Structure 1
């Protein structure tokens, strides 16, 4: 079953080169979000989960999204957990969190 899921993801991600916001891109981003949420919840408690997840996904490269999408489908390992933390602590991600993730809750 894992092999089928992984193969399906690889095929979909190969199709994602057809354009951002395409079906494959949306599926990959959804799978990646599923991998990001639990890491954010555990490592950054109290941060609004959905806006923070969006900021991380928005600031991830295509290769990082593919890696996280695989983890979302097959299970999160230490390498993927570290990748989420790395993306979450980037300057642009923090700026996104301050603007879109936390600010709406402060007003």
Structure 2
């Protein structure tokens, strides 16, 4: 069971990760509305991946950050989420 402090850390990490993912999506998929894509990536990322992505907000976006974001983006569940939210990658 997680306490309030852990929940707060997770919420902060998710907020930071969303900012990073928005930037990566905008760079890698120009012309795509980043918001729904970002939400799908965040929702389908594991907590460890959220922390890896969020680290990019502090130390800068690295190849590992981009690789993590794009890896989550290519998962079947994430692709389905993006399709259901009306965001097209094509």
TM-score bucket of the superposed structures, by smaller chain: 0.7 to 0.9
Alpha-carbon contact 1:56-1:93 (below 8 Å) kept: yes
The answer for the alignment partner of 2:78 in structure 1 is 93
Alpha-carbon contact 1:48-1:101 (below 8 Å) kept: no
Q: Which ranges of 4 or more aligned residues in structure 1 deviate by more than 3 Å?
A: none
Q: What TM-score do you get using the length of structure 2 for normalisation?
A: 0.84
Seen in structure 2, the aligned counterparts of structure 1 residues 50 and 33 have a Cα distance that, compared at 3 Å, is: same
Q: Which runs of 5+ in 2 are unaligned?
A: none
- The structure having more radius of gyration, on CA atoms, is 1
The Cα shift of 1:48 comes to 1.4
1:57 matches 2:32: no
Instruction: Show CA shifts across 1:60-92 (max 9, x none).
Output: 001000111111222110111111111111111
Q: What TM-score do you get using the length of structure 1 for normalisation?
A: 0.72
Alpha-carbon contact 1:51-1:100 (below 8 Å) kept: yes
User: Structure 2 CA distance, aligned partners of 1:73 and 1:101?
Assistant: 31
SS at match of 1:46: coil
Q: How many residues align?
A: 86
User: Structure 2 CA distance, aligned partners of 1:39 and 1:55?
Assistant: 14
Q: Which of the two has greater helix per residue?
A: 1
Name which structure has the greater RCO, CA cutoff 8 Å, separation 6+.
Answer: 2
